[in-house]
Amino acid sequence: MRPLILLDVDGPLSPWAAPRHAKPAGYVEQSLRLSRWSRRRLRIWLNPAHGPTLLALASPAKAELAWATSWEHRANRQVGPAIGLPPLPVIEFAGPQPSWKFGPVARFAAGRPLAWFDDDFDLFPEARRAFVERRAGLETELIPVDAHTGLTGEHFERLEAWLRKIDQP
């Protein structure tokens, strides 16, 4: 089964908690319209190198990238193009989630190994523990990202090491 690489936007790809005067290296400010009916704009930082880096890491492992973000389908319209990603599958989080994203992600993954970048894994520790133990022998790598810095080289190294590990016969 093809492994999954799951992406959250706020925190990993857009370091929302970074001080305004201390934009992390490589990030570029983007001004995104909240909706086509609104004049309001959202300013976020994105790193255009992240898309090509993720694609390059996923390709040799035949891993599938997917959005695991509250941005849902807007990530394909507004974030992906800004960082060089093609349209990706989207995990939908309709309605209130008693266990945050873990339930919908488990259903989407359907027994596939996965690595997941997010900044909020500690919100629901019991749900996280159950998710990681979802199936014996199923490789699951939760990669926490500090929302002050966003993705860094260390995160990509951790993903690369995990992809090498699951590629072993």
Query: Tens digit of pLDDT for each residue in 99-114?
Result: 779 889 989 998 899 9
Residue type, 164: R
Strands 41-46 and 28-33: antiparallel
Secondary structure tally for the chain: helices H, strands E: 6, 6
Is 80 exceeded by the pLDDT of residue 96? no
114: number of Cβ within 10 Å? 25
pLDDT band at 27 (very low <50, low <70, confident <90, very high): very high
Token pair listed for 135: 């199936």
Residue type, 50: H
What pLDDT, on the 0 to 100 scale, is given for residue 98? 60
Question: pLDDT by residue (tens digit) across 40-62?
Answer: 667 889 999 999 999 999 999 99
Query: Would you state the torsion angle of the CA atoms of residues 94, 95, 96, 102, taken in this order, to the nearest 10 degrees?
Result: -20
Residue identified by tokens 């199923």 is 138
Is 80 exceeded by the pLDDT of residue 86? yes
What pLDDT, on the 0 to 100 scale, is given for residue 159? 98
Q: The domain containing residue 76 runs over which residues?
A: 4-166
Is 60 exceeded by the pLDDT of residue 169? no
The secondary element (H helix, E strand) that includes residue 4 is strand 4-7
Entry pTM: 0.91
- Any idea what the CATH number is for the domain that residue 85 is in? 3.40.50
**Domain total of the chain:** 1
What is each CA distance from 73 to 26, 45, 79, 91, 92, in whole angstroms? Answer: 25, 19, 10, 9, 8
